[in-house]
Amino acid sequence: MMNEFEKALNACAADPAALLCDLRDEEDYAAGHIPGAVHLRHDRLTQDIGELADLDTPLYLYCYSGHRCAQAEVILQAMGYSAVRVLGGLDSYDGDLVEEG
């Protein structure tokens, strides 16, 4: 049975306009992230998001525990992003990870 993280990940994969965002730090992203995810540094969220997504782009966020995602959701919604979905922590993901480099 699929958990909520996996259901949301499937919804993201089914939407060609959606963007899967990894909010963990650079080293952790490089060590292993969900295939197709882009790295979005939490500490540069407001500066970098505009280069990656329009205000109506569906955004799916994950991090380690879900804490950074919850913070980012509030920030992004305040910036006008209307389709933000928090997947939660990577510990809820059972699939393979890809490494950079």
30-62: pLDDT as tens digits: 999 999 999 999 899 999 999 999 999 999 999
Tell me whether residue 12 is in a domain: yes
pLDDT band at 101 (very low <50, low <70, confident <90, very high): low
C-alpha span between 14 and 49 (Å, rounded): 21
Q: How crowded is residue 30: how many other Cβ atoms within 10 Å of its Cβ?
A: 13
Tell me whether residue 53 is in a domain: yes
Global confidence as pTM: 0.93
Tell me whether residue 101 is in a domain: no
pLDDT band at 12 (very low <50, low <70, confident <90, very high): very high
Spot the catalytic one: 12, 21, 63, 69: 63
Residue-number span of the structural domain to which 24 is assigned: 4-92
* CATH code for position 59: 3.40.250.10
Tell me whether residue 98 is in a domain: no
In 3D space, the residue among 55, 53, 57, 58 whose CA is nearest the CA of residue 40 turns out to be 53
In 3D space, the residue among 42, 53, 64, 68 whose CA is nearest the CA of residue 20 turns out to be 53
The total domain count for the chain is: 1
Please report how the helices 67-79 and 45-52 are oriented relative to each other, as an axis angle in degrees rounded to 10: 70
Q: Is 63 in the active site?
A: yes
Tell me whether residue 88 is in a domain: yes
